[in-house]
Each structure stands twice: as C-alpha cells, then as structure tokens.
Chains A and B, each alone.
Chain A
C-alpha cells in the first residue's frame, strides 16, 4: 500500500520509539501485577529496577497507561489501607480478562522476538 509506505517514511524515530514502548509497556505492567497486586509507584520502580534502568516510566506515561488498562477491564485498581502505612494506596491486580490477554501477548511477543532473532542473528540465552 503506497499510503502506508509514505507514513512510515516520515514517522520520526521518537514516535516509533513511543509506540513500541506503549505496546510492550502493556505487557510489562500486566506481567508485574500477575502474581500479586501492586501500586503505581511499585510498578514504576520494578520496571526501572528489573531493566537495570534501561526502561523508565514517569508519572505522565505510567498512569495514563494504568488507567487505560483498567478501562479495558484487564486490570482492576482498589484503594487499600494497610496497617502501619500513613495513607491508603491504590493497588492494581490482574482480572480474568487480563490473564487471557497477558497470555496472548506473551505468545505474540515471543514469536516476534524469535522472528527478529532469526532475521538478525541475535540469539538469546
């Protein structure tokens, strides 16, 4: 399709970066809340920590994403007040729908990475 081709040509690398990040960010967040509920700061910290600082979300990028996932019904947020903490926090957990999506996205991502690997010769241990 010629139109699509033009769009791609003019797509700045910054936008491409953002889109890629958004696509993978969903997967990241869903994975992080899979085993237990977490609040936003926790999620942000974990992403930064586990990627050793390579991936970093700030407030302006993380929370809209959380809200979007919640809106889609993939995660559900709840205010929780825990003993010993001075304030309530909003914890997000995976919903059944989110579980399915997560599985599908994991598969998709694996296939994608494998495909890229085969083409580029980059292998992962």
Chain B
C-alpha cells in the first residue's frame, strides 16, 4: 500500500494548523485515499492506475490547503454563547465579559480614544487635586502625635486681632498656670547674617524655647537639642537645618562644636536637624534659644511670640480652650492695662497650618468632581449612541435566551473596563500635571513640595475609576433592561426601538452637563472677577520700576544709629550715582513683606481711652526720600529731611486714615503724639506731614492706620531694606546695586533682590493659584460640555435625516432647518442654564470666603457666563445644523 500521508502534508503546508489537528486531518484523509486505492484495485485496476485514481482525489491544486485553512482558522465572529444564563459561573462570565469588552474597544478605536481621553482628563484632574488635598489636608504633620499639638493665640477681636501673637509675660503665665498641656514653647522670627565662611549670607530662623524639639518629638540627626539651661541670655548655641548644613558646610559631621559667626557674634553649632524637618516653615534654616532677658520677660504689651503646646493625653481641644479662657480672664483682671478683654484661642496645629488654603482646596476638589461628572455624561452619551446601534444584536441575544441581568453585567463590565483604562491614563496625566501644579503652588502653603502620588492617591484613583465606570455604564445598561425585543426585531430602521427613551436620557445628560459646567464657569468667573478686583486695587504706591532688597545690618558692627547712618548715606550716594537709578531710600520694612510693629498712640491734650478702645497704628521706620522713591503721595506738610536727626525735634508723618480717625475735619500738622500712651516717659513727637494710605500688611484688606518715623531718630529700629526707583527694568540693576553695597562693606549680606511688582504679585499668589486652577477646570468642563452638545446634536440629526429630507422636499427653506436645529440646541441650553443657575446660587456661596470685592451672586458674572455658555452651545449645534442643511432630500428619502 503506498503511503499518501506525505502527499497530503505537502498540500496542507501553509495552513498553519495546530500539530495535533494536522495529524488528525492527515490520518483521516489518507484513509480516504487508501479506501479509494483499494476500491480501484478491487475493480481490476493495476497498482499504478489505482495510485493515480487515489491521487486524483487531491486534484484541484491548492484548493485543499486553502479550504482547510479557511475552515480551521480561529473564528472571527463574536463569541455567541455570551449572555446565556449558566448559573453561578461569575468568574467565567467576567473573564468572558472582559475578553469581549477588550475586543469591542479594540474594534472601535475612535470611540475608545475619545472616551478614554475624556475619562483620563476627568480622573487625572481628580487625582492631581486629591494628591494635593491628601498631602496638605489629610496627611498627618510629620511630628510625634501631631493630633495633640496646638497653637495658642491671644484674642483681641475688639482691636481687630482675633488671633494675636502673645506677649512674653502672658506666655510665661500661661505656661506656669495651665494643667492641660504637657509642654508649651514659644518662638519668634529672627534672621541671621552668616559671615566668616564664604560669601556673607542671610538666613531666616527662629529664637525658640529650649523644649521646642522635645515638644514636637523630633530629635536632631546630628548632635543634640537645646538644654533647659541654655534658654537664657548670653547663651550662644545654634542648631542648623539640614539644608543649611549641606549648603554651607558640605554636610561635614565635624560641624558639631564648630563656631560660626551669626550677626557678628560667635555661636557654637550643637545640632543638625533631619532633612525632613521644617518648622514652622520651609524658610527656617537655624534655631537659637529664645533666651528672654529680664525686660523682655516682663513685657506684657509687646505681642510678638508664636506659641505652640502639646496637650496631655486625653485632653480635648474644648477642655484646653476652656482652661485657657479661664487663665486669660484671670490675667485680664490682674493686668487690665494690657490685658483688658484679651482672651486666648486654642487652635489645632493642623488647622493652623492648612486653615487658609482649606476652602480653596475643597472648592477645587468639588470642581474636579464636577469635571469628572461631565466627562462621565459624555462617555455615557457615547455609550448610549453605541448601544442604540447595537440594539439589534442585544435584542437577538435576548431572543436567544440571554438573561437581562447578564447583559447588564456585560455592559457594566465594558464601561468599568473603559473607566479603568481612563484611570490609568489619568494617573499618568496627573503625574505630569502635578509637576506643573507644584510650580504654581504658593510657597506659603506648607508641605507644597511634599505633594506626591502615594498609595492613598492610587486607591482613590482606582475607586474613582470604578465608580465612574458604573455611573456612566448605568445609562446604557438600564436601556438594555427596558428593551422591547419584539419591537426592536420588527422595526427595520436604524433608529430602532428605545429611540425616544434613549433620546430622553441623552437630552437629560446634556442638560446636566450644561448645568454642571455653568456652575463651574460661575465659580471660575467669580474668582477671575474677584482677582481682577484685587489686581486693580491701588497698593498706595507705584509698584513698577522699583527694585527692593534686604540689607540687614550686623548688630555688632552697627550697634547704634551713629554707626548706621554713615553706612546708609554712603550706600545711597553710590547707588544713586548708578546709571538707570532715579532715586533710592532705606526703610525698616517694605509694604507687604512684614506685618508686625503696631501700637496704640496717645494724643497730646487728650486722656487715653480705656485699653480695649485704643486701636493700633502701624509704625514704619523710613529714611529721607522714601515717599518719593516709593511713589507714595504726600498730601500735606513736608517729607523727612536729612536734618531730622537725634538732636532736632522728634517728627512723625501719619497716613490719611490715621489723620481722619484722630483729627476728623482738623489739620493734624503740628499736633503731637506718643507711641503707646500719653503717660510714657518719652518726648512728644510732632506730626509734620500726611501721606496717602498704603496697603502695608496684606494686600486684600483695607489699609490700616499708619505712621512713619525717621530712622535717624530711633535707636531700636534699624532700616534693613533698600528700595531703588529705576528708569530701566529694575532687576537689571541688581548686580550693580549689590556691588555698590559691597564697595562700602564687603561683609554686608544682600538678600531678597526682588522687584516691587513681584512682591505685590506674591501677595495675591494664593488667589491667583485658586483662580488659575478653577479657570483651567472650568475651561475643561466647557470643552467637554461643548463636545457633549455637539455629539447629541449630530446624533439626533443623523436620526432625523429622513424627516429633514422630507421637510426640505416639501419646501422647507434651509434657513428653516437651521433655525429648527438651533432651537433644539437652545432648548437644551435653556434647561441646563435654569438648573445651573439655581445650583450656582446655592453652591457659589461656599466660595464666599475666596472672593474679594464681589458677591457670590454677582449679576454681571451670572449674565456674562450665561451668554458665553449660550454662544458655545449654539456653536456646538451650528456645525451639525449646517450638515443638516446640506441633506439631499432625494437621498434622505431613498434611505431605508
């Protein structure tokens, strides 16, 4: 018997069968050929003839391999058994659903890309904002048992200070008398000129109670913390931040015990803090003992401390507050002169750190939630449109016995799959977004740099994706469960059954999108508007063309005004000689950079009012030429002169508000006052001029009362700022000005070289941050909503092709068609606007604390946002409308 197997194998070559299947086929076919061979032999053929006859079966060259290949290759159609109720095989079903879902997504790449992109934007925005919220609001502060840490403030609301920095004497009494705190520490800002090693440099730091580090529960990574006995005047020890240690000492561990020169005095380095430690802010680079001298310790009217305390285990915030109020009341009785009506406020440290930014972050979190809702609505719309296209398929499956719940599950699996992919892409977007976000986050938000994507953010993103998938998958899934099989199978057209229902859901989704984007746009509009208000505020000086810097003088080298004056005079002479410089002046502290130094004043010839009715006046120490350089207009009287010295009469210039308050309707020039009260043992100071009000402490609130004194007449207030008015771009002169200063004293640190514009802009950084982010999210929302409107209009026009064709055929003008469709679009917008308007009235109220100079229901913003949304919606309906106008009535009617 000849062997036919090889002949068969040759013909199957290239069919790419699995080896076992090939063996089977070869066996079966060769048997056939053998049968044929034997049959031929039995009919009397020769072996040669029989062999030929058998091989004849394989004729039609190439056809065998081709046919087998066609039959045997994997099936391309969708797996049919899907949807058949098979009891409890949930895992198997899920695997099948997933498999099917992936195939559906791969088969419709444009749908998948659009949906994933919309979801990724929505979910990514949520992840990014949530990681900020997570880091700033949720993550515990990096101290031991941070929940028990509180900040303590004096409460002097009647003077406009709901949270005032406590005075040393009050702090000492609080510490001695309380029973609720394990420990209490105070600190006060101080900056240090580091000299002797390399370039002179200035660092911000704090004088702190010796127990501060113990209280926080953080130990130095190198060396030791302060000892109790070091908390006294004359103790010269310092603890460095990790950054300063790396930056100035190259991370050399031998720095411990080394002497460094700070403000001209020699300090011994006793410790280096870990890199993760920042307290109270990132700017603080070194810490020295607080070390009150006797005079400071007794001072009760001088409020400049920040006080932190750790509650005993089991003590609640309310108990702590109650006891502190009792102590404050006792102190008010004991020291009515300073403490009358002064209370005490206990604030959780966490609240203190995040308090300001919290409303903005929560609003942003709400905003991104809305963005995600809109994205969901869009994807739900896409899915609905697709579900409509798949209705035949679904009805067929139902007819073949698939369970509705099983089909619903299939739909949900598909949408969740989509959401998970969107979530993954969104996570990538949020990583990129965070990098950009960090550059916008103002420095004042603590821990801004620690913002990162951690496990919590990942879990959050996963949950959001899951919930999102279920939300936008519900609509099409619900449609499945309401599908009428008979109608769907009977009706021939593409606009099959469920059309009205589907259209209603789609319309509701679009209306919802418009409503939600309206709310978001309103929020953004209000913030933008209020930011404009803010930027249009006049600071009280001309901020442009001003170069500013800090030149803090060493207290050792320049202990008094006699030694300071020549230095300033020489510096000013050299700076003013520089080309491009118009004028220059020195000052104690520039506006918007400092909020200390305010006090009540006593007026000559009047009795002091009771202590709780004496408003504070901000004191600023300036040099001659300050007002003209800053561009602060002099309203009355004269400016300071070089002649206003120690030996001449003491003089003061007050702001308009001060003049109005104390001398309403009078000319204050020539009147005399004393800082503090009338009975202080100091000479009367005469008012020589009145200047315009300046926004000194913060940009947002109304200017407070102010007065200015010449530095030449004050020993304890050394100017440490230089301000230069230039004819050119201010920062271009930075190098030249610095060199001019170093030409006078090569050891003089020069820091914070900034233009005044920069300072003003930083003063509204937080508002800008909120505005920018909400603006971005609102824009995103509007684009998504526009896409949604466009999608729904296009879909409904595609559905109405016949109707429109008929109208045109019956004589409707193209403009009628256009009007009809735009009217439909407008109906959506009107409904969406009505809902959005109501929601905005309710929701924008939560933003009230973020707004400035504008109410949360600002009518102008409401109107302009409405108009904008209407315009966008019209545009989104216009494009499909134009397409509808071009419908050829003949074609449209022949359809179907």
A76 contacts chain B at the CB level, 8 A cutoff: no
**Complex CA–CA separation, A67 to B685 (angstroms):** 113
Given A40-B32, A41-B35, A44-B32, A59 contacting B67 (CB threshold 8 A): no
Q: Measured between C-beta atoms, what is the minimum distance from A96 to chain B in Å?
A: 15
Name A36-71 residues within 8 Å CB distance of B.
39-41, 44, 58-61, 63-64, 67-68, 71
Q: How many residues of A contact B (CB 8 A)?
A: 16
Residue-wise interface mask of A (3-39) relative to B, using a CB-CB cutoff of 8 A (1 in contact, 0 not): 0000000000000000000000000000000000001
Residues of the A chain whose Cβ atoms lie less than 8 Å from the Cβ of B35: 41
B59 pairs with A60, CB closer than 8 A: yes
What is the distance, in angstroms, from A56's C-beta to the closest C-beta of chain B?
10
Our pick among B24, B64, B72 for the contact of A59 (Cβ within 8 Å) is B64
CB of A90 closer than 8 Å to a CB of B: yes
Contact: B57 with A59, CB < 8 Å? yes
A89 CB within 8 Å of chain B = yes
Q: Contacts A40-B32, A89-B31 hold; do A58 and B58 have CB atoms under 8 A apart?
A: yes
Inter-subunit contact B32/A41 (CB<8 Å): yes
With A41-B35, A63-B25, A63-B68 known, 6 other A-B pairs at CB within 8 A are A41-B32, A41-B36, A59-B58, A60-B57, A60-B59, A63-B28
Report if A82 contacts B (CB, 8 A). Answer: no
Q: When the two chains form their complex, are residues A40 and B28 in contact, meaning their CB atoms are under 8 A apart?
A: yes
Q: Does chain A have a CB within 8 A of B29?
A: yes
* Cα–Cα, bound, A41→B59 (Å): 16
Q: Which residues from B are CB-within-8-Å of A59? A: 29, 32-33, 57-58, 64
Tell me, in angstroms, the Cα distance from A106 to B747 when the chains sit together.
109
The 8 A CB mask of B466-499 against A (1 = contact, 0 = none) is 0000000000000000000000000000000000
* Chain B residues with CB under 8 A of A118: none
Out of B33, B71, B75, which one reaches A64, CB within 8 Å? B71
Q: How far is the CB of A8 from chain B (nearest CB, A)?
A: 22
A125 to chain B minimum Cβ distance, whole angstroms, is 32
The answer to whether A58 and B56 have CB atoms under 8 Å apart is yes
Q: Is the CB of A58 within 8 A of B68?
A: no
Please provide the chain B residues from 234 to 272 with a CB less than 8 Å away from any CB of chain A in the complex: none
B60 in contact with A58 (CB, 8 Å): yes
Chain B 42-72: CB-based contact to A (< 8 A → 1; otherwise 0): 0000000000000011111001100110111
Report yes or no: B60 in contact with A60, Cβ–Cβ below 8 A. Answer: yes
With beta carbons under 8 angstroms apart, the residue of A40, A67, A89 that contacts B72 is: A67
Q: Which of A40, A44, A68 contacts B71 (CB 8 A)?
A: A68
C-alpha gap A39/B24 in the complex (Å): 14
Q: Does more than half of chain A's interface fall in helix, strand or loop, or is it mixed?
A: helix
Contact, CB under 8 Å: B58 / A87: no
Rounded to whole angstroms, the CA-CA distance of A64 and B67 in the bound complex is 6
Of B32, B63, B67, B68, most buried by chain A (CB within 10 Å of CB) is B32
Give CA–CA (A72, B36) in the complex, Å. Answer: 28
Most buried by B among A39, A44, A58, A71: A58
For the complex, would chain B's binding face be called helix, strand, loop or mixed by DSSP majority? helix
Q: Which residues of A contact B (CB under 8 A)?
A: 39-41, 44, 58-61, 63-64, 67-68, 71, 87, 89-90
Q: Which residues of A are found within 8 Å of B28, using beta-carbon distances?
A: 40, 63, 90
Are the C-beta atoms of B57 and A67 separated by less than 8 Å?
Answer: no
For A40, list chain B residues within 8 Å (CB). Answer: 28, 31-32
What residues of chain B lie closer than 8 Å to A89, measured between beta carbons? 31
Residue from the list A63, A71, A87 in contact with B29, Cβ < 8 A: A63
Chain B: number of interface residues, binned into ranges: 20 to 34
Question: Across the interface, do B58 and A64 meet the contact criterion of CB distance under 8 Å?
Answer: no
Taking CB atoms, residues of chain B closer than 8 Å to A60 are 11, 57-60, 63-64, 67
Residues B298-345 near A (CB distance < 8 A): none
Chain B neighbourhood of A71, CB < 8 A: 71-72, 75
Residues of A within 8 A of B31 (CB): 39-41, 87, 89
Docked Cα-Cα span, A63 to B33, in Å, equals 12
Cα–Cα, bound, A52→B326 (Å): 119
Q: Report the separation of the CA atoms of residues A39 and B75 in the bound assembly, to the nearest whole angstrom.
A: 25
Identify the closest chain A residue to B56 (Cβ): A58
Closest to B33 in A: A59
- Chain A positions within 8 Å of B70 at CB level: 64
Chain B residue with the shortest CB-CB distance to A63: B29
A89 CA / B30 CA spacing, docked (Å) = 11
13 residue pairs from A and B, CB less than 8 Å apart: A44-B32, A58-B59, A59-B57, A59-B64, A60-B11, A60-B64, A61-B60, A61-B67, A63-B32, A63-B68, A64-B68, A64-B71, A90-B28
How many angstroms between the C-alpha atoms of A64 and B62 in the bound complex? 13
CB distance from A103 to the nearest CB of B (A): 18
Q: For residue A68, which residues in chain B have a CB less than 8 angstroms away from its CB?
A: 71
Are the CB atoms of A64 and B64 closer together than 8 Å? yes
Cβ-defined contact, A58 with B71, below 8 A: no
Residues from chain B with Cβ under 8 Å of A67 in the complex:
25, 68, 71-72
A44 to B70, CA, bound (A): 21
* CA of A59 to CA of B30, assembled, Å: 10
Chain B residue contacts of A63, Cβ below 8 A: 25, 28-29, 32, 64, 68
In the assembled complex, the CB of B621 is this many whole angstroms from the nearest CB of chain A, namely 94
Docked complex Cα distance between A90 and B59 (Å): 23
Q: Could you give, for residues 548-581 of chain B, a 1 whenever the CB lies within 8 Å of some chain A CB and a 0 otherwise? A: 0000000000000000000000000000000000
Residue of A nearest to B64 (CB): A60
Whether B63 contacts A61 by the Cβ 8 Å rule is yes
Q: List the B side residues contacting A64 at CB < 8 Å.
A: 64, 67-68, 70-71
A90 and B30 alpha carbons, distance in the complex (Å): 12
User: Could you say which residues of chain B place their CB within 8 Å of the CB of A87?
Assistant: 31
Residue of B nearest to A89 (CB): B31
In this complex, the member of B24, B36, B56, B57 whose beta carbon has the largest number of chain A beta carbons within 10 angstroms is B57
Q: How far, in Å, is A16 (CB) from chain B's closest CB? A: 17
Which residues on A sit within 8 Å (CB–CB) of B75? 71
Contacts of B58 in A (CB 8 A): 58-60
Query: Nearest Cβ distance between residue B556 and chain A, in whole angstroms?
Result: 98
Residue in B closest to A73 when the chains form the complex, CB atoms: B80
Question: What CA separation (Å) do A40 and B24 show in the bound complex?
Answer: 13
Q: How far is the CA of A90 from the CA of B32 in the complex (A)?
A: 11
* Residue on B nearest A43 in the bound complex, by CB: B32
Q: How far is the CA of A40 from the CA of B30 in the complex (A)?
A: 11
Q: A90 to B27, alpha carbons, bound, how many Å? A: 9
Partner of A58, one of B25, B57, B72: B57
In this complex, what residue of B is CB-closest to A69?
A: B71
Q: Residues of A contacting B24 with CB < 8 Å?
A: 90
Nearest chain-B residue to A42 (Cβ)?
B35
Across the A-B interface, the 7 shortest Cβ-Cβ residue pairs: A64-B67, A60-B64, A59-B57, A41-B35, A67-B71, A58-B57, A68-B71
Contacts of B60 in A (CB 8 A): 58, 60-61
A88 to chain B, nearest CB (A): 8
